[in-house]
Amino acid sequence: MTIRHKAAACTAAGAASLVLAALSSAPAAAHGSMTDPVSRVSACYAEGVESPQSAACKAAVAASGKQAFYDWNAVNIANAAGKSKQIIPDGKLCSAANEKYRGLDLPRADWPSTKMSAGGHTFHYKGTAPHKGSFALYITKDSYDPTKPLKWSDLEAKPFVEVADPKMENGDYVFRGDVPAR
- The reported pLDDT for the residue numbered 15 is 40
Please count the structural domains in the chain: 1
Q: Mean pLDDT in each 10-residue stretch from start to end of the chain (182 residues)?
A: 39 50 49 93 96 98 96 83 86 94 97 93 92 86 95 95 93 95 84
Judged on CB neighbours under 10 Å (0-12, 13-18, 19+), 138 is buried
SS3 179: strand
89 Cβ contact list (under 8 Å, min separation 6): 97
What is the pTM (predicted TM-score) of this model? 0.84
- The reported pLDDT for the residue numbered 131 is 78
SS3 4: strand
80 vs 25: CA distance, rounded Å: 9
Residue 132: domain span = 2-179
Task: Report the CATH number at residue 128.
Answer: 2.70.50.50
Tell me the one-letter amino acid at 29.
A
- The reported pLDDT for the residue numbered 77 is 77
